[in-house]
Structure 1
Amino acid sequence: MNNPVFAPRVSIEQVEEGQELAPKFDADGLLAVVTTDAETGDVLMLGYMNADALRLTIETGEAHYWSRSRKLLWHKGASSGLIQKVVDLRIDDDQDAVWLRVEVAGSGASCHVGYRSCFYRSVPLGAPVAPGLKLTFEEDNKIFDPSEVYGDAPNPTQL
């Protein structure tokens, strides 16, 4: 799927070794995005971008994503004030995934649940996998109260 904003994908050499941005969006028109803290390297979140989100991120220097649950373009921090300023944007070798290194405005939180990172729990290794497998919280406290930041806005995720 080509997008007129980006270069067409014409060869493996062009995509993997060339200097043209020719992203490969999946069947849903999305790229996976790993977002890390520019200072610490901590993983903050995994998100997705469509062509518009990638274009806006490049043009504004602030992270934009595509919300798969809400089916809309999302400027990270627009409602919470926790804007992600992009320090570095990298694309992987076959141009189907993006890595953002960001500075987060305000408290530095990136998770809508109130934690700094969306990866605030770990899964125990070496244990049998069965219903009831207990997760371990790796972040002790929420950085903000989501109800104070978002009010009665609908939860951005769906079960």
Structure 2
Amino acid sequence: MASDAPADSVPALPDPVSRARLVDAVRFDRDGLVACIAQQHDTGEVLMMAWMNRTALEETLATGRVTYWSRSRAALWRKGETSGQVQRLIDLRLDCDGDTLLALVDQTGVACHTGRRSCFYRAMRGDALVALTEPEADPAELYGR
């Protein structure tokens, strides 16, 4: 599902037959889930990792808006539904084993629930785990907490 379209245009979504072929190629785990890594399409920045079930994957492919499966809520999680921090699908890739997805996305705002652009903001520096970036948005404002 490649797109050469500008970032502000809607990506071309695959037809239903192609979507079904992709979904059928995925090796979901025993819980019916597959890991999905979200990466900003134009910069390569890794934003987050979340889970998809078959329904979330099918909805993502059908709508172009990334949808995950929330294990804690046991429900579909339409990224940005409450926060406005939407991920628009640009391309979706399946790894060689068929058990991990890479979603190239156009991320609106921040991806992490901590208010940071990426969930991967901590690293070891010397003997300490440190935050490499500060929040760009207040989680309380994003999620009404």
TM-score, length-normalised on structure 2? Answer: 0.80
State how 1:64-103 maps to structure 2 within 5 Å: 64-103=67-106
1:59 pairs with 37, 58, 62, which one? 62
Highest CA radius of gyration, 1 or 2?
1
Runs of 4+ in 1 over 6 A off after TM superposition: none
Task: Give the structure with the higher percent helix.
Answer: 2
How many residue pairs get aligned? The number is 127
CA deviation digits over 1:49-79, x for unaligned, max 9?
0000000010011110011122111000010
Quote the sequence identity (%).
43
Instruction: Provide Cα deviations, 1:80-135, integer angstroms capped at 9, x if missing partner.
Output: 11110011100112211100011112xx31001100000111134xx7xxxxx621
Unaligned 5+ residue runs, structure 2? 1-18
* Higher RCO (C-alpha under 8 Å, 6+ residues apart): 2
- Equivalent position amino acid for 1:36 in 2: Q
Greater percentage in strand: 2
Structure 1: distance between partners of 2:106 and 2:97: 26
What is the identity, as a one-letter code, of the residue corresponding to 1:68? R
Distance in 2 (CA, whole Å) between partners of 1:123 and 1:59 is: 40
Give unmatched runs, 5+ long, in structure 1.
8-18, 128-132, 153-159
Distance 1:68 1:134 in 2: 30
Q: State the partner residue of 1:114.
A: 115
